[in-house]
Amino acid sequence: MSRTIADEGEFGLIAAITEGLTMPDAVTVGPGDDCAVFAPTGQVVVSTDAMVEDVHFKKVWSGPHDVGRKAVGSAVADVEAMGATPLGVVVALSAPAETPTDWVLEFTKGVRAECELAGAALIGGDTTRGPVIGVVVTVFGDLQGRTPLLRSGARAGDVVAYTGRLGMAAAGLAVLGRGFRSPGAVVRAHRVPEVPYGQGRVASESGATSLIDCSDGLLADLGHVAAASGVAIDLDASALDVDEAQKTVAAAIGGGDPLHYILTGGDDHALVGTFAPSDVPTGWTVIGAVQDGEASVTVDGAAWSAEAGGWRHF
Amino acid sequence: MSRTIADEGEFGLIAAITEGLTMPDAVTVGPGDDCAVFAPTGQVVVSTDAMVEDVHFKKVWSGPHDVGRKAVGSAVADVEAMGATPLGVVVALSAPAETPTDWVLEFTKGVRAECELAGAALIGGDTTRGPVIGVVVTVFGDLQGRTPLLRSGARAGDVVAYTGRLGMAAAGLAVLGRGFRSPGAVVRAHRVPEVPYGQGRVASESGATSLIDCSDGLLADLGHVAAASGVAIDLDASALDVDEAQKTVAAAIGGGDPLHYILTGGDDHALVGTFAPSDVPTGWTVIGAVQDGEASVTVDGAAWSAEAGGWRHF
């Protein structure tokens, strides 16, 4: 019998999770006291994100390392979307008592690996029993003197540009849901997002007027920007590059337009911003324009089909 | 049929939860964007606390308002225990789709009521489906230029003093577990802790050498202080006032020593600190002394019985 977290006890488990952690200078007290302590240089941004087994991931589709990476990546993307620099995360994990210790240790390795990519420190957490695996990552970032990039700043005359991936995770979920494990690129994208770390600061320093991370789907997330800014956004379908893997998936499972994944697929956490046309940063792709008009998001001047919406969790 | 959260949808639910919220000056961006933003004046403290249905509370024993208050109170106590001033909370709620909307709205009222008592703003959150009610509160505090109060600062010659309640929640849990609903004082204490808000700052300004909140039980929590500080702590049983309700419960359910609740009962979130004898703040009760010696916690010079330990979550 392999050991379970019930064998470890709460304090043993926490000791294993935090073993060998090192803290950056900005974190003055790490895990182990009532609170962690950090010293920001500017305003602090904060966001919290919950992931629940069989709602956001399935253990048969995603290993513990994947789950740890995805929980951190999807949370830190919100810090990037404010134009802030990731600083730290705290992680609350609930799990059944019979969960193998190895599952939690691999999950922790995933959390720590993604934190390292993001430039964020794991500064605290909580562990408890629960009927399924539940992960809540709360993330903090430092604006370092920059102004927060809000959803409400888009102006007519701006262009819309993004960096990162779009619609890959949704294509992965579509094939996994039908019992396939390929194409590998989309399955991997479902398991772990590839968050464009550092690009939030780049967008801010380039003069972005608004920024959001694409978690619910491009149309849904730009809908939030359009509503908050009071503008109309029109996307140029020809600028949205469909990946070969997305074409393969769309052809295999019914022949629908693979653009659907790009427009409505969530969970990739691309960063999407609005900029004056001369301010678009290197490496970002222009995909649309901001116009005066009623708050709306269109594709080539027309509404996308009714099924084009974000993921609804309830 | 009453409405459920599945009827509301995620965005409708969030709109209801955040309706009419006002933000203090330190919160420059409230709920509704990718992150909330706040402007601390000193170092920031942060802690995260998970509460899961049927692990930390039962819906038949605690109403939604109680659950909301307890989730916030038990989290904010960690901010007090650093000597910091509560600033804000973010709340992640997972719940079954068939949860009545009214349950969530009452829970939210409890969250907001306890936030108001604590002086903390509800600045963000996340909602998702899950098999049971799960609440994760992450809390931030501002040290406002003060030095964090750690577990490691206790020195021989200090006295141990506390403010708040001890062993009331555990007595409440004991009677509820046996099907009773009285004495009311202990049942209410199980449902909602009475956190001594503001006393963390008082302890810091009075020169406390260490501070902790009593969440696992007095002996267990002082054990953390003894271990981190490398000191022996001896408590004076005669200084620990047993409440009449605790005596009633102990007599009714087996005649055990009601001191057991005070020494081992968690969830009351009293603040327990160490101070030079002349530095004990008004309203705090001296209950023991810090001595040179191997890290340990004794009562009247002797180890408490084997069953005296903190709550183990796994």
CA–CA gap between residue B22 and residue B54 (Å, rounded): 33
Contact A29/B at CB under 8 A = yes
Contact B142/A at CB under 8 A = no
The partner residues of B48 in beta bridges, in order of sequence, read B138
Q: Give the model's confidence band at A1: pLDDT under 50 very low, under 70 low, under 90 confident, else very high.
A: low
Beta-carbon separation of A126 and B97 below 8 A:
no
pLDDT of residue B252: 87
> Tokens representing B76?
């904010």
Q: How many CB atoms lie within 10 A of CB B20?
A: 5
Contact partners, residue A294, CB within 8 Å, separation at least 6: A232
Nearest to B312 among A9, A51, A150 (CB): A9
pLDDT of residue B212: 98
Residues in chain A: 314
Low-confidence stretches of chain B (pLDDT < 70) are 1, 306-314
Contact B26/A at CB under 8 A = no
Per-residue model confidence as pLDDT tens digits over B199-251: 999 999 999 999 999 999 999 999 999 999 999 999 999 999 999 999 999 88
Q: How many CB atoms lie within 10 A of CB B178?
A: 10
pLDDT of residue B278: 98
Contact A301/B at CB under 8 A = no
Residues above pLDDT 90, as percent of chain A: 89
Nearest residue of B to residue A74, measured between CA atoms: B34
Beta-carbon separation of B138 and A46 below 8 A:
yes
Q: Note the Cα A25 to chain centre separation in Å.
A: 26
Beta-carbon separation of B48 and A124 below 8 A:
yes
Per-residue model confidence as pLDDT tens digits over A134-181: 999 999 999 999 999 999 999 999 999 999 999 999 999 999 999 999
CA–CA gap between residue A152 and residue A230 (Å, rounded): 8
Per-residue model confidence as pLDDT tens digits over A229-240: 999 999 999 999
Mean of per-residue pLDDT scores for chain A: 94
**Alpha carbon distance, N-terminus to C-terminus of chain B:** 38
Beta-carbon separation of B134 and A138 below 8 A:
no
pLDDT of residue A307: 53
Report which of A213, A272, A223, A264 is spatially closest to residue A73, judged by C-alpha positions.
A213
DSSP secondary structure letter of residue A68:
H
pTM, rounded to two decimals? 0.95
- Measuring CA to CA, how many Å separate B303 from each of A44, A210, A250, A275, B170? 45, 61, 69, 67, 21
Order the strands of the B271-275 sheet from edge to edge. B210-213, B271-275, B159-163, B285-291, B232-235, B296-299
Beta-carbon separation of B45 and A37 below 8 A:
yes
Per-residue model confidence as pLDDT tens digits over A182-231: 999 999 999 999 999 999 999 999 999 999 999 999 999 999 999 999 99
Closest Cα in chain B, distance from residue A252 (Å): 30
Contacts with B, A 182-211, CB within 8 Å: 211
Q: What is the ipTM of this complex?
A: 0.94
